[in-house]
Chain A
């Protein structure tokens, strides 16, 4: 009971609204960035023109649900709607409708083809649903600008009680912890050079190649252990107030390096950076962001 009551208090605590709005603004852009290369070929991705795995007709882990390819026109329409919903969500225009539409459409894209499903597309519907149930769009958004035109005297809120924010703040340490469990069950504690082996294939960027040439092998091993420790103890690092700023820097650096080293994974990195900033950026830093946004919005109002 004590735990439940503490949890309820934690859930109901007011947090800076800009956290939620930061996620609302950046997360759809990261998701759309990832999808952009695919949606440019909507007829290949979702339509009848492209190759689609046939209905395997049995219980198969690779095909959680068979969704038949769409007529090409419908595929292009779905792609256009996805982009529109993502942009509307990012700008905060009809935010809740945009979040729900974005969640449903990306869920369709992810389910319709296992070949196009990656962490970004699988996570996007969950996050968009979370934003749908939140008060995202209350500030720093088109909706907020329109509301202010209707009621110029109304105060701009600074705080929010948001289950969606709490969800993101819980999601990050749990996600990293689970990732560490996967790594520990895999090769990361058995083989010393797992990271080094991943810089050879088509993900390799010029930066990764140069880094691989100049970095001693021992450093790769050290980095590998650091990542397992950082991820595995993420609930502690992110949960404890004293370690949180260092953990935030550590995770941000990790994702920046992943983005620089593994080309197509950059969108995943941007998504995680967004969640980290929205969830854990210290309030003092958020106030600076808010001040900058305030200047921007007063400029927009002029």
Chain B
């Protein structure tokens, strides 16, 4: 009896399986390493799930490794308000706080909540060490730019301190018309929307302004 078409081979082809003559690329990973990699992958998946289910054992994973497994928390909470962060500088000449344009000092993702200034305030607003470092960075960079502007004959006043604030813009009732997001000046918001997160103490502001000869 002549051999008919190999029904298994045909079915395998339709199902996308290799024919006997098809070349299959074998893994270059040796068997012992494959076992290590399987164990690592299993550990990764367990850590993902442990993180999601708030298991205590994940706290025992070294932080730099655990960091790469903290990826599945995608928007788990509702937004209570549109949250923005702003910076003001204490103008030594006018002796009052004025809002700072942050783009020159935090150019990455300007105006978005992924901006580094925004993220610093979001994560570290209660950490004084970081807030002081942020204040120092902003004051130095702003004053460098102000001095450079002056040397070119432009009027620019240095700052003796900063104030960081969060702005909580209410969303309105569910179903109410959604406003187009726009970046508005800090002064345009009612005071009730604004919460100060950090400010340079008055004594320090005055001392800095004196040092700057203002």
Residues of A within 8 A of B (CB): 11, 14, 16-17, 37-38, 41, 44-45, 50-51, 53-54, 56, 59, 61-62, 64-65, 107, 110-111, 113-119, 122-123, 125-126, 133-135, 138, 155-163, 167, 170-171, 174-175, 177-179, 181-183, 185-188, 191-194, 196-204, 209, 212-213, 217, 263-264, 283-284, 286-287
Contacts and interface: CB of A to CB of B under 8 A. Distances in A.
B37 interface: yes
B72 A182 contact: yes
B52 A178 contact: yes
A61 B194 CA distance: 28
Nearest to A158: B22
A135 B38 CA distance: 16
Contact of B27 (A134, A158, A201): A134
Contact of B24 (A157, A197, A217): A157
Interface string B112-135: 111011011001100101100110
Contacts of B37: 133, 163
The DSSP consensus for interface residues of chain B is loop
B105 interface: yes
A135 B24 CA distance: 11
B11 interface: no
A36 to B, nearest CB: 11
A68 B82 CA distance: 33
B186 to A, nearest CB: 15
Nearest to B177: A213
A200 B179 contact: yes
Given A200-B79, A217-B174, 11 more contacts: A64-B66, A122-B68, A133-B33, A156-B23, A157-B25, A158-B18, A161-B25, A163-B38, A188-B76, A197-B171, A264-B109
A134 B113 CA distance: 37
Nearest to B29: A133
B41 interface: yes
Contacts, number: 211
Contacts of B53: 181, 185
Contacts of B178: 199-200, 204, 209, 212-213
A243 to B, nearest CB: 18
Q: Which 9 interchain pairs have the tightest Cβ spacing?
A: A186-B76, A283-B16, A178-B52, A64-B63, A178-B72, A212-B178, A181-B52, A197-B79, A64-B67
Contacts of A37: 108-109
B106 interface: yes
Interface residues of B, number: 74
A107 B68 contact: yes
7 contacts: A17-B25, A115-B123, A158-B18, A159-B23, A162-B25, A186-B76, A283-B16
Contact of B171 (A133, A200, A263): A200
Nearest to B16: A283
B63 A65 contact: yes
Contacts of B83: 201
B116 to A, nearest CB: 5
Nearest to A57: B129
A40 B172 CA distance: 37
B1 interface: no
A178 B49 contact: yes
B34 interface: yes
Contacts of A51: 105-106, 116-117, 120, 133-134, 137-138
Contacts of A115: 116, 119-120, 123
B189 interface: no
Interface string B4-32: 00000000000111100011111111000
A125 B44 CA distance: 13
Contacts of B120: 51, 53, 115
A193 B172 CA distance: 12
Contacts of A167: 41
B8 to A, nearest CB: 15
B71 interface: yes
Nearest to A268: B74
A44 B171 contact: no
B68 A126 contact: yes
Nearest to B111: A202
Contacts of A125: 68
A14 B17 contact: yes
Contacts of A193: 78, 174
Interface string B27-70: 11100011001100100110011011110000000011011101
